[in-house]
Homo-oligomer: A and B are copies of this chain.
Amino acid sequence: MICSSSLVMSSSPSPPASSEASDELTQPQVRKFKTSPQLNRWSRARSIRSGRKLDRSVELRTNSGSPVRGEEEFELPTSPKRGSGSGSESETEGNGGGKSIFMVSDGTGWTAEHAVNAALGQFDYCLVDRVCPVNTHLFSGIDDVEQLMEIIKQAAKEGAMVVYTLADPSMSESARQACKHWGVASTDVLGPITEAIGGHLGVSPSGLPRWAPGREKALSEEYFRRIEAIEFTIKQDDGALPRNLHLADIILTGVSRSGKTPLSIYLAQKGYKVANVPIVMNVDLPKTLFEVNPEKVFALTINPVVLQSIRRARAKTLSFNGEIKTNYCDMDYVKQDLEFAGKIFAQNPVWPVIEVTAKAIEETAVIVLRLYHDRKNRCSMPRISKRY
């Protein structure tokens, strides 16, 4: 189990290991302490498991005005990395092998997760088959410094690195200092870009976590438009409601298993209303498809061998549900299907034909959107533009 570990918590306030540490530790506490019901809940849960008395959490509450107090709650790991906890309350970690990355956010943490995921793409060669396995742990909604310190110390114990997105500058500064102090490798994902954008716009960042109460525009019109796009797209899946095709921003067409549905949903999440229309051999396409602006229709095509293998995998699921079509995976049928589609595409030369073989949804999405925006804006360089 990845997360059977618990924190070392001292039952009596003890000074930091050295005076130097003490000096360095004044920095992470620039932010005033708030009483954290969640932290107290965690502490209580741990206390109950360890049989320790619950008076610490009470003390935390009464001392919430003192910036130094909270820090003393914790006992520092004795060595920066993989430091073993002292005292009977220490539980051994059980990481199941692999290096850990802690992602810490005062919001949802999805930005940190997205960035880590993208960066890990650079290590695929070593992650494949878990040759050098990595475990990520996302801690979201971390909005007080006590929780933050608790997590960073846990990172130090587990030899994890910390990736953080903390809107409050004093929180991110605390994270930076604490990581430095406890020898934890760390990266501030949003700090540098926020600072650069602030400089560019000539205004200061709000310092408020995303979705924080009081944040303007948290649930904006655009946000509701996105939800509407998702609902529209689901309703229009697989050729449903052809009378609504004129309401779509983007219409995808192609044979069965060319990836129309996941692509539709991906685009819908980005705020586009998408309809997808399957092409089935010798079945007439809805008349409305040829009545809408052809510039919003995108045709998908795929290599027949790859399509056959995808359909075979699909057929297993379908047969499981008793819906299998006998010739669905035959190479002859697959080729005829693609030829039938190809003829329709040729008759509609305005539709771009996008080759999806071996492409991820994200890749096909960017091709569609680049064309979509290019057709709308006639740019000198293909780009996807957005206003804020």
Contacts and interface: CB of A to CB of B under 8 A. Distances in A.
Interface of A: 1-7, 38, 42, 45-46, 91, 98-99, 101, 108-111, 114-116, 118-128, 130, 132-141, 150-151, 154, 161, 163, 165, 167, 185-187, 189-190, 192-194, 196-201, 203, 205-208, 210-211, 215-220, 223-224, 226-227, 230-231, 234, 237, 259, 261-262, 265-266, 268-269, 313, 358-363, 365-366, 370, 377-388
A380 B262 contact: no
A231 B310 CA distance: 14
Contact of A200 (B161, B197, B203, B207): B161
Given A140-B370, A217-B128, A361 B118 contact: no
Contact of A388 (B91, B127, B140, B167): B127
B141 A377 contact: no
A223 B360 contact: yes
A205 B123 contact: yes
A227 B119 contact: no
A211 B356 CA distance: 13
A300 to B, nearest CB: 14
A108 B366 contact: yes
B187 A192 contact: yes
A192 B115 CA distance: 11
B362 A110 contact: yes
Nearest to A41: B382
A207 B125 CA distance: 11
Contacts of A38: 382
Contacts of A230: 261-262, 265
A245 B287 CA distance: 36
Closest 3 CB pairs of A and B: A122-B205, A3-B379, A111-B118
A127 B386 CA distance: 13
A388 B120 contact: yes
Given A136-B385, A377-B3, A124 B196 contact: no
B261 A234 contact: yes
Given A187-B196, A199-B185, A211-B359, A167 B206 contact: no
16 contacts: A2-B385, A7-B381, A46-B380, A110-B362, A115-B115, A118-B210, A122-B198, A127-B217, A135-B385, A136-B386, A138-B384, A154-B381, A161-B200, A185-B200, A218-B358, A266-B269
B203 A123 contact: yes
B211 A362 contact: yes
Given A123-B201, A217-B124, A261-B231, A385 B132 contact: no
Given A199-B185, A262-B230, A365-B108, A124 B215 contact: yes
Contacts of A227: 259, 262, 361
Contacts of A215: 121, 124
A286 to B, nearest CB: 18
Contacts of A128: 216-217, 220
A118 to B, nearest CB: 4
A219 B109 contact: no
A5 B381 CA distance: 9
Contact of A269 (B5, B136, B269, B379): B269
B385 A140 contact: no
A193 B198 contact: no
- The interface centre, meaning the residue of A42, A116, A359, A385 with most chain B CB atoms within 10 A of its CB, is A385
